[in-house]
Chain A
Amino acid sequence: MTIDALDVLWVTAGLGCDGDTIAMTAASNPSIEDVLAGIIPGLPQVRLYNPVLGPQNAEEFLQHFRDAAAGKSPRPFILIVEGSIPNEANKSEGYWAAFGMDAKGDPIPTVQWLDWLAPRAWAVIAAGTCATYGGIHAMQGNPTGCMGLADYLGSDFRSAGGIPIVNLPGCPVQPDNFMDTLTYLLRQAAGRAPMIPLDEMLRPTWLFNFTVHEGCDRGGYYEQADFAADYNSMKCQVKVGCWGPVVVCNVPKRGWMNGIGGCPNVGGICIGCTMPGFPDKFMSFMDEPPGAYMSTAAVATYGTMVRALRRFTRVSLDAEPPWRQRPEKKP
């Protein structure tokens, strides 16, 4: 079945910061306005219902969610969840997160919305590390008992369209990674792409099949065992806290926006913000990762030698051949 029009219903009422919505507005490959205007060929017509951008307000806005929850959505919909999912069972009353209110005026817990909406959605995207794996708000010692969407719905969850949860980690999500994935799903909805390829942690494989280090333009320094001793250096940062060699993420390769910015490629240590183990397994962030002691020692002999040989060769290449001289200077 091909879909020629669908809605995007975006719930920001997890434990989040709206940073993934804001990141989405930073994307230009494609931009959200181009998708909504229908100028990207091959995609269904899309309507977006996001609380940060929605022209409509309050009940008028919420009506689209109420209809979808009741199975009365006029079109198939993609559900996007932002923020981690609190454990509403770890206390006697009240709520950690809610979205709108019921007929009695009581807040509707976010988990209730997920129970209503997720099974009816054609596809479900967890946007950002909070929604994918719990993220910063699921840090040890947190009071809310929060978790990722797949922890809540089950990792074997399938949407109405038969698709697993699509996880897009990143704190926040890299802007173009988000729009790229949404565009893939829209193309799939239109019958123009096969089932979205996901890895075992439900990440799109073409975006997450290599590490920070494999895409980092400071990786050459590592190879030469040339490490930054502090943050003033433009060399490889593994000894000052960078987890890039073991973190799955394309940001140094893609940059943050239009190829600009990133993390270790521009002097910011990788703190593992795309990873299921984030943040606890990476703290204290500014300390050398334990594994780096051994790996940097192991590369030292080879790296130091290669660096010396290359320096030798470079010096010879840095001089022009002797015949390129002004005539009067020739002997």
Chain B
Amino acid sequence: MTAAPRDVVAMSWDPITRIVGSLGIHTTIDFANRHVAECRATSSIFRGYSVFMRGKDPRDAHFITSRICGICGDNHATCAVYAQSMAFGVQTPPLGEWIMNLAEAAEYMFDHNIFQDNLVGVDFCEQMVKETNPGVLAKAEQTLAPGSAVHGFRTIADIMRALNPFTGAFYLEALAQSRIAREMYCLMGGRHVHPSTIYPGGVGTVPSPQLFTEYLSRLMRYIDFVKRVVPLHDDLFDFMYDALPGYEEVGNRRILLGCWGSFQNPEACDFRYETMSSWGREMYVTPGIVVDGELVTTDLVDINVGLRILLGSSFYEDWQEGETFVKTDPLGNAIDQRHPWNQTTTPRPQKRDLANKYTWVMSPRWWDQRSGKHLALDSGGGPLARFWTTALAGRVNIGYVEATGKSVKIRLPKSANQPETEYEWKIPRWNNTLERNRARSYFQAYAAATALYFLDRAFAELNAGNTTVWRDFKVPEEGVGCGFHEAVRGMLSHHMVIRKGRIANYHPYPPTCWNASPRDSFGTPGPYEDAIQNTPLFEENGRETFKGIDIMRTVRSFDPCLPCGVHMYLGDGKELVVRYAPMFGVQPPESP
């Protein structure tokens, strides 16, 4: 196919709404060939956790780092507790660990729920599709939804109407359900989103039959709801492939997925670094790295040793010549100067220059010792990488969920309005926008199913009279710790160095840092770059009314959570013809 002559227009979207945090997307669009030619993303907020945590009490790390994120702060608190447990040499009692797992399962249920149907869903709602693709809406009106007997919506357009913001039936139902899931979190963690009852050493939650029964009764209502969520989104996303042939290329990128694992197994996990390879594999979401469809590792020590933080176009000073906090890990493996344990964060605010330094984010990479390459992994928005690694590893089999080596089966019991149901998430052909979104719905079911298992285990502890949920510890004078976890939207790590009993260095790496990372010092492009570059555009609008819906769907499919921040750079040059920003009609006032 011969490309038409280029017709390149600069377009910016800043701020991007319906995500958490501050993100701007600056692109050039080739309208003649209907694809994205070039793109940068900017983050406009810096807070400085790694700076102000220096010198603080290591026991305070989880209270502080929870405040990194207002939608998944408890993921940070939990990850910090994992890092603290390693550094303090303490193992959470089994019931405490089941309670933390139940809390985190509730967080996945809540967060995927509100993000999918109250934030992402709007990109597929009737109002939006009417504005961007009236032809698709017309087709949706004529297309019967295969799952209508279960979810209750006759046509695909009925589904789209149900997702209209603040008026659609399913939008409102999802918002209400998100509150029930948050109540479940509060039962275990005290408060959402910055928990009160989570501590290094365990939890302060009072375990009793009442506690777990209150969780269970809410969980069964959620399960009844999720049995409509999965077929509803299957119908919607299958329709998109069908209505827009070629849509699989939207947001498609090479399969380079990372998952740091979720839900500890207290029978295996002693939080010692020396045994991390084995207890990491016992997690109920298997950690791992998938490169071009191959499962490269499931070993958290491999994952840890390969971490590198590169600088590209960010507002920081380099630390290559800075202090080395950790020369070797507790197993004797060499730790690179660019590893989070050795990072020194020194911010240098400066004027934003889109051709040079323009963002507050850095470039995390994983060094693949087989190829010597620094891989720009993404999380697939969280669920896609979690399912992919768990499926390939084939290790998880707890009845309610089962990894088969090529799929993940999820079994949910009978609920108020729906029979016993089994789902099978199968490894898809693409790492693209729609599959990231589809995996999110399935992971709501997965989290609910694992919660049933954790409840069984918690009741078993209660029945056996084991009610200890917290264990004492001493903070060492010197030590290191690392925590690996899955935030709702993907891989999360916390790295801590203790000296003289205080925090000497602390670096959290949330998923959006990976997903939205820039072209780094080696020239490796970041995940958004792959995903958006050459993305075909299916929007029916011309440039005057262009909304960039296919780009927005792609950005949101990663579930951006930018209290960390993004930068990206794509494409092949500066062939700007016109500068045009959509809806940029009004000049900002100069001053009051």
Contact = CB atoms under 8 A, between A and B. Distances in A.
B15 A19 contact: no
Range class of the A interface residue count: 35 or more
Given A52-B20, A116-B589, A231-B199, A95 B349 contact: yes
Interface in A76-112: 83, 91, 93-103, 105-108
Given A17-B68, A17-B563, A142 B196 contact: no
A54 B119 CA distance: 9
Nearest to A283: B60
Contact of A63 (B18, B71, B583): B583
B19 interface: yes
A57 B552 contact: yes
B58 to A, nearest CB: 9
B315 A94 contact: yes
Contacts of B330: none
B118 A137 contact: no
Interface in A41-96: 51-63, 66-67, 69-71, 83, 91, 93-96
B124 to A, nearest CB: 12
B583 A59 contact: yes
B490 interface: no
Contacts of A299: none
Interface stretch (B137-145, B148-156, B184-192, B374-382): B184-192
A308 B358 CA distance: 68
Interface stretch (B174-182, B273-281, B433-441, B527-535): B174-182
A172 B12 contact: no
A144 B20 contact: no
Which of A59, A70, A99 has the most chain B CB within a 10 Å cutoff? Answer: A59
Nearest to B358: A107
Contacts of A94: 315, 348-352
A140 interface: yes
A223 B63 CA distance: 28
Nearest to A58: B13
A182 interface: no
Contacts of A20: 70
A18 B182 CA distance: 16
B409 interface: no
Nearest to A142: B52
A257 interface: yes
A286 B59 contact: yes
A16 B70 contact: yes
B44 A13 contact: yes
B259 interface: no
B15 A51 contact: yes
B344 to A, nearest CB: 13
**Is the contact region of chain A dominated by helix, strand, or loop, or is it mixed?**
loop
A271 interface: yes
Given A100-B15, A285-B59, A55 B127 contact: yes
B347 interface: yes
A266 B14 contact: no
Interface stretch (A23-31, A191-199, A289-297): A23-31
Interface string A221-255: 00000000011101001000000000000010001
A262 B192 CA distance: 9
Given A61-B17, A94-B351, A286-B199, A139 B52 contact: yes
Contact of A25 (B175, B203, B548, B591): B175
A258 interface: yes
Interface in A123-140: 135-137, 139-140
Given A101-B24, A141-B54, A285-B60, A17 B73 contact: yes
Nearest to A113: B588
Which of B52, B119, B196 has the most chain A CB within a 10 Å cutoff? Answer: B196
A263 B15 contact: no
A99 B582 CA distance: 17
Contacts of A116: 589, 591-592
A231 B586 contact: no
A58 B166 contact: no
B133 interface: no
B513 to A, nearest CB: 15
Interface stretch (B263-271, B417-425, B464-472): B464-472
A171 to B, nearest CB: 6
Interface string B570-588: 0000000000011111111
Contacts of B187: 260-261
Which of B45, B315, B470 has the most chain A CB within a 10 Å cutoff? Answer: B45
Nearest to A120: B592
B14 A100 contact: yes
Contacts of B468: 232
B196 to A, nearest CB: 2
Which of A53, A83, A99, A120 has the most chain B CB within a 10 Å cutoff? Answer: A53
B45 A13 contact: yes
Contacts of B122: 55
B349 A93 contact: yes
B192 A263 contact: no
Contact of B589 (A70, A107, A137, A139): A70
Interface string B45-84: 1111001101111011001100111110100000000000
B202 interface: yes
B592 A171 contact: no
Contacts of A258: 179, 183
A261 B186 contact: yes
Contacts of B205: 266-267
A16 B71 CA distance: 11
A115 B203 contact: no
A146 to B, nearest CB: 8
Contact of B17 (A19, A22, A54): A54
Interface in A1-33: 12-13, 15-23, 25-26, 28, 31, 33
B193 interface: yes
A98 B70 contact: no
A284 interface: yes
A58 B27 CA distance: 13
B190 A62 contact: no
B287 interface: no
B114 interface: yes
A160 B588 CA distance: 21
Contacts of A59: 13, 581-585
A285 B58 CA distance: 10
B365 interface: no
A15 B51 CA distance: 14
A57 B470 contact: no
Contacts of B54: 141
Contacts of A91: 349
Contacts of B582: 58-60
Contacts of A256: 186, 190-192
A12 B469 CA distance: 37
A18 B73 CA distance: 10
A231 B469 contact: yes
Contact of B196 (A22, A23, A139, A269): A269
Contacts of B19: 52
A21 to B, nearest CB: 7
A103 B351 contact: no
A261 B191 contact: yes
A148 B563 CA distance: 19
B308 interface: no
Interface of B: 12-22, 24, 42, 44-48, 51-52, 54-57, 59-60, 63-64, 67-71, 73, 114, 118-119, 122, 127-128, 165-167, 172, 175, 178-179, 182-183, 186-187, 189-199, 201-206, 214, 315, 347-352, 354, 467-470, 472, 547-548, 552, 563, 581-589, 591-592
Given A69-B589, A261-B190, 4 more contacts: A52-B119, A91-B349, A97-B44, A101-B12
5 contacts: A17-B20, A26-B182, A100-B15, A255-B186, A261-B196
Interface of A: 12-13, 15-23, 25-26, 28, 31, 33, 36-37, 51-63, 66-67, 69-71, 83, 91, 93-103, 105-108, 115-116, 119-120, 135-137, 139-144, 171-172, 230-232, 234, 237, 251, 255-258, 260-263, 266-269, 271, 273, 279, 283-286
